[in-house]
Amino acid sequence: MVDASAVLRQGLLQLSKSDQVRSVIEKAPVSRSVVKRFVPGDATADAVRAAGELAATGRLTTIDYLGEDTLDLAQAQATRDAYLALLSALSDAGLTQGGRSEVSVKLSAVGQYLPGDGEKIALEHAREICEAAARAGTTVTLDMEDHTTTDSTLQVLRELRQDFPWVGAVLQAYLHRTEADCRDLAAAGSRVRLCKGAYKEPESVAFQAKEDVDRSYVRCLKVLMAGEGYPMVASHDPRLVEIAGALAAKHGRAADSFEYQMLYGIRPEEQRRIADRGDQMRVYIPYGEEWYGYLMRRMAERPANTMFFLRGLATK
């Protein structure tokens, strides 16, 4: 039997790479107001305002300047500069102490795909962002992109951690390799965000069935919670959130030795409930003009998100 939601998901992930569809959607006059649910705005000030509002309700934040897959050095430098400006503005607003607001960086946005020295350039840009984070008293987490970049991203992580041991990484439960990567990274001082994974990946490297991804997520969580590192449980899935809490209790973890993470605009009541009960909840805030790929991945994850977008287009 054909699984309609799986077909929709694959289609939307395919469209997330289409420049033609991107240009139509970006130019639609109503898109911006609908996107606001997931992306608070284009400017640094919009991200700082959203982080301040979340801080006022006890939530931590990690902020992503939107952009990915750049093949243009000037663009990669501009992204680095946007992060430097963001960290300085967050610090000025008093939001960075103790890592309350940190940043999330996609290496492909700071040069990883540039021909020739891409990985080296991305490493240098990420290093400058880490230096600014250190000055501001906060941390950096490297987002994880499609599987062709996993080794390169983990290599950059290892190099950055020599100077900045607090740099975090993201591991994706849908990849077959991830349980082993969790074992490698479950050591003292290591910050690991575990998510299901958001890209279109082939069967050769990734579980395809939702149940298999969920089972892998639980196996990975067990490794991280039993280890000595700092697990960051990035999921909106109520079952996984509950299992994470039970595993943390089983291993006698204090509330400040792990955290939950969710995306801006998704399950906000649950975010507040978790923060209110005394656990750490960090919200991932994307901002900037390059929201197309991000939005398409959110729509692929959940038909309700697609309906929200289409309804917005129809009623505006």
* Active-site annotation, residues: 143, 193
Residue 199 in contact with ligand FAD, rule: CB under 6 A? yes
Q: What are the backbone dihedrals phi and psi of residue 303, each rounded to the nearest 5 degrees, phi first?
A: -50, -35
Q: Under rule CB under 6 A, which residues in 138-167 are in contact with ligand FAD?
A: 143-144
- What is the 3-state secondary structure of the chain? CCCHHHHHHHHHHHHCCCHHHHHHHHHCCCHHHHHCCCCCCCCHHHHHHHHHHHHHCCCEEEEEECCCCCCCHHHHHHHHHHHHHHHHHHHHCCCCHHHCEEEEECHHHCCCCCCCCHHHHHHHHHHHHHHHHHHHCCCEEECCCCHHHHHHHHHHHHHHHHHCCCCEEEEECCECCHHHHHHHHCCCCCEEEEECCCCCCCCCCECCCHHHHHHHHHHHHHHHHHCCCEEEEECCCHHHHHHHHHHHHHCCCCHHHCEEEEECCCCHHHHHHHHHCCCCEEEEEEECCCCHHHHHHHHHHCHHHHHHHHHHHHHC
Under the criterion CB under 6 A, does residue 234 sit at the interface with ligand FAD? yes
Nearer to ligand FAD, 205 or 266 (CB): 266
CA distances from 103 to 12, 142, 260 (A): 27, 9, 16
Q: How far is the CB of 56 from ligand FAD (least distance, A)?
A: 20
Is 123 or 281 the residue whose CB approaches ligand FAD more closely? 281
Q: Which stretch binds ligand FAD (CB under 6 A): 74-82, 94-102, 233-241, 250-258?
A: 233-241
284 binds ligand FAD (CB under 6 A): yes
The reply on whether position 195 binds ligand FAD by CB under 6 A is yes
Answer yes or no whether residue 196 interacts with ligand FAD by CB under 6 A. Answer: yes
Using CB under 6 A, which of 32, 161, 236, 272 touches ligand FAD?
236
Position among 69, 266, 268, 289 found at the interface with ligand FAD (CB under 6 A):
266
Report the nearest approach of ligand FAD to the CB of residue 59 (Å): 12
Question: Does 172 contact ligand FAD by CB under 6 A?
Answer: yes
Least separation, in Å, of the C-beta of 116 and ligand FAD? Answer: 25
Q: How many residues bind ligand FAD (CB under 6 A)?
A: 24
**Interface pattern 5-24 for ligand FAD (x via CB under 6 A):** --------------------
Regarding 198 and contact with ligand FAD (CB under 6 A), the answer is yes
Binding site listing for substrate: 106, 297-298
Applying CB under 6 A, the residues found at the interface with ligand FAD are: 143-144, 170, 172, 193, 195-199, 234-238, 261-263, 266-267, 284, 301-302, 305
Binding residues: 106, 144, 172, 196-198, 210, 235-236, 297-298
Binding residue ranges for FAD: 144, 172, 196-198, 210, 235-236
